[in-house]
A and B are shown apart, each in its own frame.
Chain A
């Protein structure tokens, strides 16, 4: 099988003022690949995937996503964001719009689809994330798990080529984590390219093709899950896994 890289990071570095949040990050994500990124809090996981859709601009190195080299205010950035979906830890649904409007506003205003076409797609994805009956409610009327599934559907409605997830279950009550992960597993089964920052190791075992372990702004280890979970190459990853698997 020919591997087509969709995200290529070469020596990527990122500063916040004097603080170096990312150092020399090299990573390749191929089309259809599922990459799970883990690591201690503050290790730069969010910063890295936010660089992938230009929410943060990297300062050094090269970053190509979907064939385009990312640079601050590059003319193609908006086009790129349409093709790269993002799911946030805090859902970030639009509270003044109904669920259906949340899903169709991007396709209608950005992709210039007709309302009918956008609605048809939206209802299909609401079905897919198993909340078709909530279409006319407002986000505040939904549970956290439902809101996060809407956020996933909203990103999917743009028909992205890659989906980025930044700790999508960290803000959820424990009993709602499963319903969101189920939706993500099904999404993985459709062949979607996914980069997921998460500490849900059960999910990682199930879907990940590649595990990435970060610490202090660097990628410390990139391994297939079989190796990563049984015999991590780095001492740090081993300590980290012991810590989170204890609970």
Chain B
């Protein structure tokens, strides 16, 4: 009897209309709690000011506000870093899987080094130590830090993907005279993409999120922009809510886009 009742309850809760209303109620409750909490602190809400920081519409037409500009910088930074991290990660994975003892040692040394240093310390290392030595600016320091940091994780994704292709595929490639490079290119990597796509998406989402850390060296991306606006206007609640929402929107769009891509990919192979 109780089981049946529970099942009925679950079915009712999962019905689309009920689920959506429930969700709305929960979100409203959270919003209301923060709002009244802020009221009690005597916080002066100025939501009306926020749109101006996102975009303005003047006689010259549409103009991106600081937040949109910051978002664009975050996207650019994340894309650049993701590309670099992917290349670096692939290189490290291939080195690690190569028959060369030196190659494997270099790869493992690199991975242990990068994985066991806090991201923030790595950033300081690039900005305050290597930056002056090699003469690169804060943007370059940010790009290098994030690329190196995420290349370690991405190389593990590549390694796992490559290792999940059956040994027989290597042997078949070798038996028709392919070199190791040809086997990778034509036989192994195309088959491992399927295993790598989901974790790679996860990694680009992680990268977008961890890119916020470069605000500590004042690279003008989304988080830095948010902080700057707040120091001018003291609207910390509105701006941090907005910045969080923008990150959320970006990562959600990305996740949905990639899962659509994955579905197409899955039906093709």
Contact = CB atoms under 8 A, between A and B. Distances in A.
Contacts, number: 57
A77 to B, nearest CB: 9
Interface stretch (B25-33, B60-68, B148-156, B173-181): B173-181
Given A94-B169, A105-B186, A110-B182, A53 B175 contact: yes
Given A81-B175, A96-B269, A106-B177, A90 B168 contact: yes
A12 B63 CA distance: 78
Contact of A95 (B173, B176, B191): B191
A93 B191 CA distance: 12
Contact of A82 (B173, B177, B269): B177
Interface in B170-202: 171-179, 182, 186-187, 190-191
B110 to A, nearest CB: 26
B178 A92 contact: no
A227 interface: no
B162 to A, nearest CB: 14
Contacts of A88: 168, 171-172, 175
A92 B186 contact: no
A155 B191 contact: no
Contacts of A114: none
Contacts of B187: 94
A85 B175 contact: yes
A109 B181 CA distance: 11
Interface string A51-68: 001110000000000000
B177 A93 contact: no
Contact of A92 (B169, B177, B182): B169
Interface string A34-66: 000000000000000000011100000000000
Kindly state the interface size class of chain B when it binds its partner: 10 to 19
A158 B172 contact: no
Contacts of B177: 78-79, 81-82, 106, 110-111, 158
Nearest to B167: A92
A195 interface: no
Interface in A76-127: 78-79, 81-82, 84-86, 88, 90, 92-96, 105-106, 109-111
Interface of B: 166, 168-169, 171-179, 182, 186-187, 190-191, 269
Given A53-B175, A90-B168, 11 more contacts: A55-B171, A81-B175, A81-B176, A86-B175, A92-B171, A94-B172, A94-B173, A96-B191, A106-B178, A109-B182, A154-B176
Interface of A: 53-55, 78-79, 81-82, 84-86, 88, 90, 92-96, 105-106, 109-111, 154-155, 158
26 contacts: A53-B175, A54-B174, A78-B179, A79-B177, A81-B174, A81-B176, A81-B177, A82-B176, A82-B177, A84-B175, A88-B168, A88-B172, A88-B175, A92-B169, A93-B172, A94-B173, A94-B187, A94-B191, A105-B176, A105-B186, A109-B182, A109-B186, A110-B176, A110-B178, A155-B175, A155-B176
